[in-house]
Amino acid sequence: ACVRSNSNRATICHLHRQLYGRLYPVLLVNTDGSTIRLRYSEPKRILMMPLDSSTLPEAERKARLRRHFPSKPKVKEEETFEGIDLDTYKKFWKK
């Protein structure tokens, strides 16, 4: 098999670069839904701006926090045999 080590090889796999030599066209999406085309240092298709939680209504902000940080599961109590009358189950015991 012939291994091709030229510029066409970049389309086959992902390049692991820390710095890119040029700027790439990217679509920036604002929190209100508006979009802007800009040049970005990494080849990405879409960038989304983070939502500012201080501008949200109180109910929606609490709902987002609840979704982001779910509550811990409740600890179940261990069953004890103190309140069970053993005479009712006497017929099931083998002699």
pLDDT tens track for 45-88: 998 888 888 888 999 889 988 888 888 888 888 877 777 888 88
Residue 91 identity (one-letter amino acid): K
Average pLDDT, the chain: 80
| pLDDT in the model for residue 1 | 54
Alpha-helix runs per DSSP H in 29-92 = 58-68
Please compute the mean of the pLDDT values over residues 16-27 and round it to a whole number: 80
Report DSSP state, residue 31: T
